[in-house]
Amino acid sequence: MFIMLQSFIEIKPLDIKEKTLKNGLKVYVIEEHSSPVVSVQVWYKVGSKNEVVGITGSAHLLEHMMFRGTKEIKDFSQIIDELGGMDNAFTSFDETAYWCEIPSSAVEKVLYMEADRMRNITFDGFDEERNVVIEERRWRTENDQRGALWEALFSTIFWAHPYGKPVIGWRSDLENVNLEKIKQFYETYYAPNNAYLIVVGDVKAEEVFKIAENYFGKYESKEIPKFYTTEPKQRGPRRTEIKKEGFATYIAVAYRVPKASSEYSPAVSLIADILGGGKTSKLYKSIVYEKQLASSISAFYYGLKDEGLLIIFATLQQGKDINELEKAINEEIENLRKNKVSEEELIRAKNNQLADLIYSRESVVRLGFQLGEALINTDNPNYINEYPKLIQKVSKQDIEKIINEYINDDNKTTVIVHPIPPSDIQAYIEGLKKASEIRR
């Protein structure tokens, strides 16, 4: 029996209320009254790309310092815990974001705390926190095969743009950066006009706006340094192979594609889904099931503010040849180009993407993340309402255009990590466990 798939998933538009304070702070509220919880998030428009030579890792190190307290608030996370909530933060190339999930009764308290640490952290315990970050780098990058792969991948792709520097920073910079440099970074970029305040959950927008005005409105705006570095066009395939202690062989193949705000980013996301979005994808069926060359393989679109990447990541099956796996990946890419994408594959990918959006909106935290990412990449809060429609509009012709223009050898970078047997297996395993336990 033949069943025609249809793209039928509809996503109800979100009612996003917004207000810009006189000092430039943009406040966004999504009211969601199904349960008495709220996510408060502050997204600063500063990440590792804003660092200069010698202070790489400053954005992430500063993220850690933001939890050390102010004169008024001694331990941010402890207070959140006492309120019955949870909190964390993350630093990326373009942004640093702080988030929590709390009872709705605690919103004003948390907004006061976020406003306080926007301008008033004490920097107590700097040396201790720096050592924590160095250890984090040690276990998550230097002693981790996959961490080493991602670091090598981005440094191979980006020669001019700071996306080529690791978010966590180079070890030598972390060991030598002084407190004054971190304070200067904080004073330069942590300002109301360089941040988005996002509140999602069981709140009233007008009440949030009044509280934000009361606590954040007293701060003055600042002149934020303009970022202008761009990555030149890639003019041929690039390749890096490294050896790292471990037991597996990994390969990543990346293509430079349009950035997150591009009209073509939905099409790139769908291509990634068709190629490697689960166990029914082209790559998984061919390379894992049929040829049994990899134990796992996936593809995803990494859309950033200034650039975009379509990345294929695979783990070599034990006993197999990495050259055969790489050849098989390249053959699947060529098959995609020659045989093109079917209407059925495109519809299935659209439904997968739309379903993922729906599931992610069931959490106030993840819904806040969707809005924050849209703001960082496009400065348009309504993009999260526009995106489902853009996904639906993608045609087979759009897919073919992206494949022909971007998915080619001139845009390709390949990185392979070969294993070196650990000299002390027990210590290596303990290190992996330690890396998984690092919270921030």
Per-residue pLDDT of 394-417, as tens digits, reads 999 999 999 999 999 999 999 999
CATH H superfamily, domain 16-217? Metalloenzyme, LuxS/M16 peptidase-like (3.30.830.10)
Residue boundaries of the structural domains of the chain = 16-217, 238-425
Using the structure block, give the residue that is written with the tokens 């249809």.
6
CB contact at 8 A, 390 and 383: no
- How many angstroms separate the CA atoms of 143 and 156, rounded? 20
Catalytic residue chosen out of the listed positions 10, 32, 51, 63? 63
φ/ψ (deg, to 5) at 382: -75, -5
CA count, 13 A, side-chain hemisphere, 112: 8
Q: 3-class DSSP state for residue 7? A: coil
Closest listed residue to residue 113, CA positions, set 98, 126, 130, 125:
98
- pLDDT over threshold 80, residue 78: yes
User: What pLDDT digit, counting tens, does each position of 104-146 carry?
Assistant: 999 999 999 999 999 999 999 999 999 999 999 999 999 999 9
- pLDDT over threshold 70, residue 3: no
Mean of the pLDDT values across residues 177-182?
A: 96
Beta strands in 180-227 (DSSP E): 195-201
The mean pLDDT value of the chain amounts to 95
Examine domains 16-217 and 238-425 and report if their fold is the same.
Answer: yes
Q: Find the radius of gyration of the CA atoms of the chain.
A: 23
Using the structure block, give the residue that is written with the tokens 């040829």.
291
User: What pLDDT digit, counting tens, does each position of 208-267 carry?
Assistant: 999 999 999 999 999 999 999 999 999 999 999 999 999 999 999 999 999 999 999 999
- How many angstroms separate the CA atoms of 175 and 127, rounded? 10
pLDDT reported for residue 6: 59
Structure tokens at 142: 């230097």
DSSP string, 151-168: HHHHHHH-SSSGGGS-TT
H helices present in 296-360, as ranges: 322-339, 343-360
Between the CA of residue 192 and those of 29, 46, 122, 310, what are the distances in Å?
A: 17, 12, 19, 34
Amino acid 56 reads T
User: What pLDDT digit, counting tens, does each position of 427-437 carry?
Assistant: 777 777 776 66
Using the structure block, give the residue that is written with the tokens 């890639």.
234
Residues 6+ apart with CB under 8 A from 73: 79, 113, 116, 117
Look up 63 and say whether it is catalytic.
yes
- The pLDDT > 90 percentage for the chain reads 92
Distance between alpha carbon 287 and the CA centroid of its chain, in Å?
Answer: 27
Question: Helix axis angle, 58-65 relative to 126-137, nearest 10°?
Answer: 130
Closest listed residue to residue 101, CA positions, set 327, 302, 364:
364
User: What pLDDT digit, counting tens, does each position of 137-147 carry?
Assistant: 999 999 999 99
Strand partners, 84: none
Q: What's the CATH class of domain 238-425? A: alpha beta
- How many angstroms separate the CA atoms of 332 and 250, rounded? 18
Amino acid 394 reads V
Q: Count the Cβ atoms, other than its own, within 10 Å of residue 309.
A: 24
